Structure formats: structure tokens, C-alpha cells
Amino acid sequence: MNNQIGDTDTDTDTNVSTDTSTDSQLGATTGVETSTTTTAGESEEQIRDEWTDYRFDSPAKLSVEDLNVWYGDDHALKDVSMEIPEESVTALIGPSGCGKSTYLRCLNRMNDRIKAARIDGSVELDGMEIYDPNTNLVELRKRIGMVFQSPNPFPKSIRDNISYGPRKHGEINKGLLARLFGRDDSEKEAELVERSLRQAALWDEVNDRLDDNALGLSGGQQQRLCIARCLAVDPEVILMDEPASALDPIATSKIEDLVTDLAEDYTVVIVTHNMQQAARISDQTAVFLTGGELVEYDDTDKIFENPESQRVEDYITGKFG
Amino acid sequence: MLSSVTAEVQDAILGEDPSEGALRTVGLSVLSLVASLLCIFLAPGFALPVLAAFVVVTAFGWRTHQAEIARLLTLVATILTVLTVTLITVYLFFSAFPAFTAHGIDLLTIPILESGPQWFFWLDFVLPTGETIWNPRAGVYSLIPLIWATVIVTTIAGLIAAPLGVLGALFIAEVASDRLREAIKPGVEILAGIPSIVYGFIGFKVLNGFIQKSFLDDGASFLIAGLVVGIMALPTVVSVSEDALSSVPDAMRDGSAAMGATSWQSMKSISVPAASSGISAAIILGLGRAIGETMAVAAILGAVVQPTVPLFDMFDASSTLTSAIAHNYGSATESTLDVLFVAGVMLFVIVAGMSVISQYVERRINRKLQGQQ
């Protein structure tokens, strides 16, 4: 994004010098026009298709094709194409403002809620186009759950937080009518609450106070509650937008363990600022760099040990971002 | 106690270590102000010159010790406000006192009709009953019809203002687009700026005329008064609840949407419960406004003081506590005036009570929402 130019405090002199050196290396290789939206300290280079061409054996859960997002005149995401494999952890990393959160929010159409956003391209979940005009958003968001950057439990009891989704989808009935006709689902609810909280590794901490307000929990517990809430609707994909960035190290490590466990049954896509975190928990990593471009996408080990792109290497080794 | 307060005030105005000059300037200014206040009560003729002296002293002090004088002036402004409210309260209660002693519980006499005492929620077992209820010439005053008229008008107003106001706030805060919101919000606020006598006049002239012509010969005074007062209370309810709804964090709505809830489900199960403290406060504030409303009610209901028969007859008419004061204060005898002051005390207590309750409700629900029960 343009407002990132000169935003960081790295001195701009290095920018110029690296520019010339990389230009001489890569400048003549392709006819693609050079990207000019770099942050301070970031060199320029052309992105090559094979850097983002990541192949895997299992079928793709999500496949994204030529996704473009504009916020007003701001081109936030440029021609992103990537396929996300099933039952794995995919990390999205990159400096702030690089469009990784925007990309994540496109996967369950949360960007629809931003009026200024314009989205172009295709996202398929199990081969089904989610940007089809006939897509049922309720059904889509049931299948693709989301956990946000700062914990956002509802101001309700812990139990009600978990059963919120199923109740809204009519899977659990606890209203007056349901009780009158003997179709009260309290038992089913109790089971669901316990299962979800256990999956989120929160059950042992809160099982004696399920009726307490969720806002009384600590930040880490709130975030795990949000994960449990998301699991309660039994999604196939879980999107996580820097889920641990507002938490202390202990809470963070709990979330990380949880993410690794979840990848056995769910497809997890996680945005993170923390490169060690991405290296620890993810199976494959996608690197977004300034300007909303997907620069490199490959096995996590490959990205962190031997990246193709000079800019990705610079970013990972902490030269900018 | 008093000395510690004085010391604290002195500290606040003069600072830790006041200079001789500052002490003298502020002291002189305070002295002249107190003297002018005393003069108003004791020797009104001297009040103006002494006040002028205060102004001169303060003006000079402003040049030499501006910080100290500025702090003093803020203190004086605060004290004057509090003092005014206190004096009004004391005066109200003092003026009502003779009527309390002269009539006592008879002020709440329940009227007797042909069929016996008027049914009043079993209160007729406790309260006195009487043939006449409001007859200044005979020295008989019962405030029961006034209180009841106030209750009816406020109830109707509440039934109109609460649902309309909350739904309107929901539309503005959650449904309307940004541009629509910018057009509607000032519109609602203009509603609050229309003088109350204009509402009353419209109610009397247009609504009452329409109803008399088309439906009921006698008119429907309580209903119309309640309707008009309800509309007058609307802006309060709308803008306070809209503020409450807008302050619900967007993260919660996003969370709800990401769970696959529809926008109506989010509104119903997240926004409204989270804003419930503000919404209840809005309704209570609106009701407070409805109770205190005078001119519109006086114009619609007229000066009659009578019990409604049956009790719930909302097509009847009778003065309320407020409109009775407005209609009678000009022509009343000394003893009637005292009774009107009792009505004033009742209003004061009710409205003050409601604002205390609204604050209590707001704080309680907020505490509950933040998880610290």
C-alpha cells in the first residue's frame, strides 16, 4: 500500500543502493513492468510465476485464482493465485499493509461487509465458487470459520457464546416453544459446549463457570473461547487473523499448540506477523510483500531455509518489514 | 471537617505556596463576592455597588494573578450552580410544607362516586375517601386525579416513544447507509428543537379536531396528550439509544457475521443486548421528559380536575400534575398555591428519582456486560 512508503524508520539510502544492485541482476530477465511500491529498505525485483507455483498431492481445499481487491482507489491485493491443501496449516506472512489480512477476509467473504471494497477474481471451496451471486453466505461461513486478531467474545455467558452459532442456524432450540413441545435441546447443547471447549483446550479452566460472562475471562482464554465458538459450528476451514498478536507468550504457545492439533481435522489458514510462529506451526507458507502481491508460496522449510526471491530472504532475515 | 475543606479549596486555588499578593487579591475578590451575596438578602440597595466592586477587584486580579483568579472563577461558577439548585429545592419543600401540615393525607383523598369509593388498586383501604376531590373554594384538594392523569399520559407516551424510538435508533445505527444516516440523524434532532407549545397547539387544533369530527364527540384527550408527549420524547429516546448502539464494538458484529449469523440475528442477539444499558437509560430519560412536559399537556387537556371513570378510560381528560400548576398558579389563592407546591415537590421527586434510576440501571448492566458481576 502506498502509505507504507517511508513509513518505517530504516534509512532510505540502503533502498537506493540495493535497488541498483538487484536491478542489474534481475532487471532484464522478463518484460514485466517493475513494481514501484516498496517499503523502505526493500529492494525491487520481478515476481516470477514459478515462485508461487506450489504443488501438493492432496486435493486443494481452497483454490484462489487472480484475486484482486480495491479499497476505493487503493489496489490492496494484486492477482493473487494460490491453492490451499486440505487438513494442513497454511501461514500467510508479510509486513503490515501487505494485504495478507485482506486476502484472508476474502476467503469467507468478510470483505463484503466493507462497503468501499471491490473484489474481482475467483475463490473456490471444494470446487464451488464462493463469489457466485447465488452463494449462501450463512452456509459459507458455517463451512469457513474465522478467528479475529483481538478476542471478540460476545457479552454473554461462556455457554451462550459457544451455542450462539448452532442456535442461529436452528440446530439447537432452547426457546419457550421448544421447551413447551418437549423439544428442548439443552442436553445436546451441553454436549456441544463440552466438546468444543475440550477441542479448544479450555474445558478444564472453565467447566465450573460456564454461566459466567465471557468478558470476565483473560485474553488468552477469550481467544480460545473464540476458537471454541468457531469449532462449535463444525467448520471445514478455519481462518485465523493474527490470533495470538494480542496475547502474552504463554497464551500464545497454547494457541500455537492448539493450531497444530486442529490441523489434523481442519484446514487452517493463519495470518501472522511472527515469523518464528509461522516456521513452528505451518506446513506451507505464503509470503506477501508490499503492494499486495503474493511473492512466494512453498513448503515452510523451503521458504525459511532457501527462498527463491531475494526480497523474501531479506524479509525473513529481518532486513526490512 | 470544615477546616479541612477550606484548606483543600485554598490549596486548589492558590497552590502550595501562595505569594502575599495572590493571597490578598483572591481574598479581596472572595470577600467582595460574599458581601454582595449577603447584600442581596440583607440590604438589596447596596448589592449592585458591592457587586461592581467585586468585578473591579477581579478584573485587576486578572491582570496581576491570572491563574489564581481563573481558578477562583471556575470555583465560583460551580458553587453558584449548586447553590441555585439547592435553594430551589429548599424553597420548593418549604413552600409545600404549609399544605402538608394543613391537609396531610387528605391530599390523596380518593373520590366517592355513586357506586362507592372509586377503585384505586386497593389503595382505598389505606387512603381517605371524600365526596369532593378538587374544590379550592371549600378548601378540598386531592392530588389523586392529577397523579393518575400524569400516570396515564406518561404510560401512553412511553408506549409510543419506547418502541418507535428503539426501532428508529436500530434503523439509524444498523440498517441505514452512511448517507441516509447523515440525513436522518439531524432530522430527529430537529424534532427536539420544536417548542413544546407548538406540539400542544398542533395536538389540540389538528388531532383533537380530527378525532372529534371523525370518531368521538368528546374527543380523546388523554390519548392525544399521550401521543403528542410521546412524540416529544422520541428524539431523546432515539439519540440516546442510537449512541448506545453505535458504541457496541464492530468486532462483535464481525464475530457474529463470521459465525454465519444474518445481520438481523446479529442485531437482535448481539447489538441490542450489548447496548441494553443505554437503551433502558434512553427510555427512562424519555419517560422523565414525558412526566415533566407541561405546555403541550396544558393545551390539550384543559383545566378540569376530575377522576377518570373507569380508571383506565384514556378518552377522558383531567389536568396532570404539571398542567394543573400551569393553569392555576395565576389565579390561585394562597392555600391553593401551597397545594400546587406539593404537586411541584412530587414532580421533583419523581423526575429526580427517574434520572437516578436510569443511571443505576446503566451502571448495573454495564458492570454485568463487562463480566464483573
Which of these, B228, B225, B239, lies nearest to B285 by C-alpha position? B239
Q: B362 vs A235, which has greater pLDDT?
A: A235
**Which chain A residues are closer than 8 Å to B256 by Cβ?**
154, 164
Which of these, B271, B369, B246, B251, lies nearest to A150 by C-alpha position? B251
Domain membership flag for residue A39:
no
Domain membership flag for residue A20:
no
**Which chain B residues are closer than 8 Å to A137 by Cβ?**
260
In chain B, what percentage of residues exceed pLDDT 90? Answer: 20
Q: B206 vs A178, which has greater pLDDT?
A: B206
Q: If you write DSSP's letter for every residue of B305-332 in order, what string do you get?
A: ----SSTT-TT-----HHHHHHHHTTT-
Cβ of residue A240 closer than 8 Å to a chain B Cβ: no
Q: A186 vs B242, which has greater pLDDT?
A: B242
Q: Are residues A240 and A192 in the same domain?
A: no
Domain membership flag for residue A163:
yes
Query: Chain A residue closest to B369 (CA)?
Result: A155
A3 secondary structure, DSSP code: G
Residues 258-317 of A with CB under 8 A from B: none
- pLDDT at position A35: 45
Cell of A2: 502506498
Which of these, B240, B226, B343, B350, lies nearest to B286 by C-alpha position? B240
pLDDT (tens digit, 9 = 90+) per residue, B288-322?
888 988 888 888 888 888 877 777 788 888 888 89
Chain A nearest-CA distance from B369, in A, is 6
Cell of B16: 502550595
Cβ of residue B256 closer than 8 Å to a chain A Cβ: yes
**Which chain A residues are closer than 8 Å to B177 by Cβ?**
115
pLDDT (tens digit, 9 = 90+) per residue, A226-267?
999 999 998 999 999 988 888 888 888 888 999 999 999 999
Parent domain of A175 = 158-206
Q: B11 vs A86, which has greater pLDDT?
A: A86
**To probe the interface with A, which of B259, B269, B372 has the most A CB atoms within 10 Å?**
B259
Alpha-carbon distance of A266 to A89, in angstroms, equals: 9
**Which chain A residues are closer than 8 Å to B269 by Cβ?**
154, 164, 168
Round the average pLDDT of chain A to a whole number and report it. Answer: 81
Sign of the Cα pseudo-torsion (B300, B303, B305, B306, in order): negative
- Are the C-beta atoms of residues A169 and B260 closer than 8 Å to each other? yes
pLDDT (tens digit, 9 = 90+) per residue, B234-271?
998 999 999 889 888 888 999 999 988 888 999 999 99
Give the pLDDT band of residue B373 (cuts 50, 70, 90).
very low
Query: Chain B residue closest to A163 (CA)?
Result: B259
Alpha-carbon distance of A275 to A282, in angstroms, equals: 10
Round the average pLDDT of chain B to a whole number and report it. Answer: 85
Of A138, A145, A212, the CB nearest to B262: A138
Residues 137-156 of A with CB under 8 A from B: 137-142, 145-146, 148, 150, 152-156
Contact A152 B254 (CB under 8 A): yes
Domain membership flag for residue A193:
yes
Cell of A203: 474445558
Query: Chain B residue closest to A216 (CA)?
Result: B371
Give the pLDDT band of residue A12 (cuts 50, 70, 90).
very low
Alpha-carbon distance of B357 to B345, in angstroms, equals: 18
Q: Are residues A51 and A177 in the same domain?
A: no
Sign of the Cα pseudo-torsion (B125, B126, B127, B129, in order): positive
Q: A318 vs B291, which has greater pLDDT?
A: B291
Cell of A34: 517493475
pLDDT over threshold 80, residue A19: no
Q: Are residues A55 and A132 in the same domain?
A: yes
Cβ of residue B45 closer than 8 Å to a chain A Cβ: no
| Phi, then psi, of B177 in degrees rounded to 5 | -75, 165
- pLDDT at position A317: 85
Lowest average pLDDT, out of A29-38, A291-300, B27-36, B295-304, goes to A29-38
Q: What average pLDDT score do residues A210-219 get?
A: 88
Query: Chain B residue closest to A116 (CA)?
Result: B178
Contact B251 A145 (CB under 8 A): no
For A79, the enclosing helix (H) or strand (E) is: strand A74-85
Q: Are residues A103 and A246 in the same domain?
A: yes
Alpha-carbon distance of A70 to A78, in angstroms, equals: 9
- Are the C-beta atoms of residues B103 and B338 closer than 8 Å to each other? no
Cβ of residue B180 closer than 8 Å to a chain A Cβ: no
- pLDDT at position A10: 40
Report the domain count for chain A. 2
Q: If you write DSSP's letter for every residue of A261-298 in order, what string do you get?
A: HHTTTSEEEEE-S-HHHHHHH-SEEEEEETTTEEEEEE
**To probe the interface with B, which of A213, A234, A269 has the most B CB atoms within 10 Å?**
A213
Whose cell is 477474481? That residue is A121
Q: What average pLDDT score do residues B117-133 get?
A: 74
Q: What average pLDDT score do residues A264-277 get?
A: 91
pLDDT over threshold 60, residue A8: no
Give the pLDDT band of residue B27 (cuts 50, 70, 90).
confident
pLDDT (tens digit, 9 = 90+) per residue, A37-87?
556 666 667 777 777 777 777 788 899 989 999 988 888 888 888 899 988
Give the pLDDT band of residue B177 (cuts 50, 70, 90).
confident
Domain membership flag for residue A271:
yes
Chain B nearest-CA distance from A294, in A, is 25
Q: Are residues A54 and A74 in the same domain?
A: yes
Considering the domain B144-369 in this protein, what is its CATH number?
1.10.3720.10
Q: Are residues A290 and A191 in the same domain?
A: no
Q: What average pLDDT score do residues A12-32 get?
A: 40
Q: Are residues A281 and A169 in the same domain?
A: no
**Which chain B residues are closer than 8 Å to A148 by Cβ?**
251, 254-255, 258
Cell of A238: 478455519
Q: Are residues A180 and A279 in the same domain?
A: no
- pLDDT at position B159: 95
Domain membership flag for residue A52:
yes
Q: Are residues A187 and A288 in the same domain?
A: no
Q: CA torsion A203→A209→A213→A215, rounded to 10°? A: -50
**Which chain B residues are closer than 8 Å to A138 by Cβ?**
260-262
- pLDDT at position B87: 92
Lowest average pLDDT, out of A186-195, A229-238, B110-119, B246-255, goes to B110-119
- Are the C-beta atoms of residues A300 and A285 closer than 8 Å to each other? yes
Q: If you write DSSP's letter for every residue of B134-176 in order, what string do you get?
A: EEGGGTEE--HHHHHHHHHHHHHHHHHHHHHHHHHHHIIIIIS
**To probe the interface with B, which of A138, A144, A221 has the most B CB atoms within 10 Å?**
A138
Domain membership flag for residue A3:
no
pLDDT over threshold 70, residue B60: yes
In chain B, what percentage of residues exceed pLDDT 70? Answer: 97
**B221 CA to centre of own chain:** 23
Cβ of residue A109 closer than 8 Å to a chain B Cβ: no
Q: What average pLDDT score do residues B115-141 get?
A: 75
Query: Chain B residue closest to A228 (CA)?
Result: B259
For chain B, the domains span 2-102, 109-141, 144-369
Contact A213 B373 (CB under 8 A): yes
Cell of A270: 493463519
Residues 150-179 of B with CB under 8 A from A: 177-178
- pLDDT at position B26: 86
Helix axes B44-64, B66-103, angle to 10 degrees: 150
Parallel, antiparallel or unpaired: strands A267-271 and A237-241:
parallel
- pLDDT at position A42: 67
Domain membership flag for residue A215:
no
Q: Are residues A162 and A309 in the same domain?
A: no
In chain A, what percentage of residues exceed pLDDT 90? Answer: 27
Cβ of residue A182 closer than 8 Å to a chain B Cβ: no
What CATH number does residue A299 fall under? 3.40.50.300
Cell of B271: 447489538
- pLDDT at position A229: 93
pLDDT (tens digit, 9 = 90+) per residue, B70-94?
888 999 999 999 999 999 999 999 9
Q: Are residues A70 and A145 in the same domain?
A: yes
Cell of A20: 541498483
Residue A274, SS3? Answer: coil
pLDDT (tens digit, 9 = 90+) per residue, A117-160?
889 999 999 888 999 888 888 999 999 999 998 899 998 889 99
Contact B260 A155 (CB under 8 A): no
Chain A nearest-CA distance from B363, in A, is 15
